[in-house]
């Protein structure tokens, strides 16, 4: 029997992201409607004689397997907490197939860290209660708690105050120009930090009602990201021209997404986009439904 354990680190999509304030420590207060895609990085965890991280996948060569890797930080932090509680956390081989672009606004690193926390709890046969796991995840990054959940949700605070939302599944296309964007740099470039929060969410809504609602909302990080990476504006226009009902940037960019009426329109859109942006990462997928 293969004792290895697998976890998917799903792409995080900010359907709307309003920056509503700033804390004394510099972190920004957000109001963000978040969903997750049926595409992501794949992690495999197996018992080993010594700790090891190996990398593969389309973007694996862009990562460092030893230095500043969130997978290693997540492993070390979880092990430390478990050992403090008298629980064994023996060596493990982690393999990360990196399929999502790096520094892309879709939470790749955060999702990898969250998948590591989920996977290693399974390997080590330990279950931390949510009340302990969420703060531990937050120490790894503001988006790690939401990636632990990986289901549609409203995120408030700096991204750690989470409420599930009964969002439907959407057909979606992701497009990234393969230009990395620094999140702190985008936050620094914000002109306003006191924007209006999201209005109350529609209740028991179907996909067209959500599309209408989302059309009225923003990603407040989009203007500073566009000023830094001009192609973002072109990507959003191209998504709209390809039939997207909604086209926005996710997180701090530069990944943009389009939501489509159905899978066939989304698949056709990827062909048009690939002709126009041959160097870009382009992926047709769908989002996961919420079960609030």
Question: Is residue 142 involved in binding ligand C5P (CB under 6 A)?
Answer: yes
3-state SS class at 41: strand
28 binds ligand C5P (CB under 6 A): yes
Instruction: Give the number of C-alpha atoms closer than 13 A to the C-alpha of residue 206, restricted to the C-beta side.
Output: 2
- As measured in angstroms, the least distance from the Cβ of 103 to ligand C5P is 10
Q: How many Å is the Cα radius of gyration of the chain?
A: 19
Among the listed residues 97, 112, 143, 220, the single catalytic one is 143
Which residue's CB is nearer to ligand C5P, number 25 or number 206? 25
Question: Is residue 158 a contact residue for ligand C5P (CB under 6 A)?
Answer: yes
Rounded to whole angstroms, what are the CA distances from 91 to 50, 53, 98, 126, 212? 5, 11, 22, 15, 50
Per-residue contact flags (x/-) with ligand C5P for residues 33 to 72, judged by CB under 6 A: ----------------------------------------
Based on the residue annotation, tell me whether 31 is a catalytic residue of this protein: no
Closest distance to ligand C5P from the beta carbon of 41 (Å):
16
- Nearest to 150, CA basis, from 105, 110, 104, 121: 110
d(CA 223, CA 234): 13
Tokens of 239: 């998504």
**Among residues 16, 30, 165, 214, which is the contact residue for ligand C5P, using CB under 6 A?**
30
Q: Is 143 in the site for ligand C5P (CB under 6 A)?
A: yes
Instruction: Quote the CA–CA distance of 253 and 225 in Å, as a whole number.
Output: 6
Of positions 187, 210, 260, 277, contacts ligand C5P by CB under 6 A: 187
Nearest to 287 by CA among 209, 171, 192: 171
Residues 113 and 121: their CA atoms lie apart, in Å, by 12
**Among the listed residues 4, 27, 81, 211, the single contact to ligand C5P using CB under 6 A:** 27
Segment contacting ligand C5P (CB under 6 A): 59-67, 139-147, 198-206, 234-242?
A: 139-147
H or E, element range at 247:
strand 246-249
Task: Compute the distance between CA of residue 262 and CA of residue 129 in angstroms, rounded to an integer.
Answer: 38
Active site residue: 12, 98, 112, 220, which one? 12
Q: CB of 219: closest distance to ligand C5P in angstroms?
A: 13
73 is an active site residue:
no
- Closer Cβ to ligand C5P, 26 or 200, answer by number: 26
Mind telling me the catalytic residues?
Answer: 12, 143
Give the residues lining the site for ligand C5P (CB under 6 A).
27-28, 30, 141-143, 158-159, 183-184, 187
């Amino acid at each position: 029997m293969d004792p290895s354990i697998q976890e998917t680190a799903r792409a995080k999509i900010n359907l709307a992201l309003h920056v509503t304030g700033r804390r004394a420590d510099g972190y920004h207060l957000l109001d963000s409607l978040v969903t997750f895609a049926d595409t992501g990085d794949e992690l495999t965890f197996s018992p080993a004689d010594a700790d090891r991280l190996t990398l593969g996948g389309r973007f694996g060569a862009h990562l460092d397997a030893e230095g500043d890797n969130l997978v290693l930080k997540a492993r070390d932090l979880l092990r430390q907490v478990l050992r403090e509680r008298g629980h064994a956390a023996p060596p493990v081989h982690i393999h990360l197939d990196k399929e999502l672009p790096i520094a892309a606004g879709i939470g790749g690193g955060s999702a990898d860290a969250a998948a590591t926390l989920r996977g290693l709890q399974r390997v080590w046969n330990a279950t931390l209660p949510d009340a302990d796991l969420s703060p531990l995840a937050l120490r790894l990054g503001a988006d790690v708690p939401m990636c632990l959940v990986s289901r549609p949700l409203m995120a408030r605070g700096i991204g750690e105050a989470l409420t599930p939302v009964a969002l439907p599944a959407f057909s979606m296309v992701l497009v990234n120009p393969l230009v990395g964007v620094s999140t702190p740099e985008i936050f620094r470039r914000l002109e306003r930090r006191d924007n209006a929060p999201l209005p109350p969410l529609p209740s028991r809504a179907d996909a067209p009602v959500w599309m209408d609602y989302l059309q009225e909302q923003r990603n407040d990080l989009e203007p500073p990201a566009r000023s830094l990476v001009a192609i973002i504006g072109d990507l959003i226009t191209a998504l709209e021209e390809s039939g997207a009902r909604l086209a926005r940037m996710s997180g701090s960019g530069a990944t943009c997404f389009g939501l489509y009426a159905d899978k066939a329109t989304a698949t056709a859109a990827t062909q048009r986009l690939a002709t126009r942006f041959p160097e870009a990462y382009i992926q047709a997928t769908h989002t996961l439904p919420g079960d609030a």
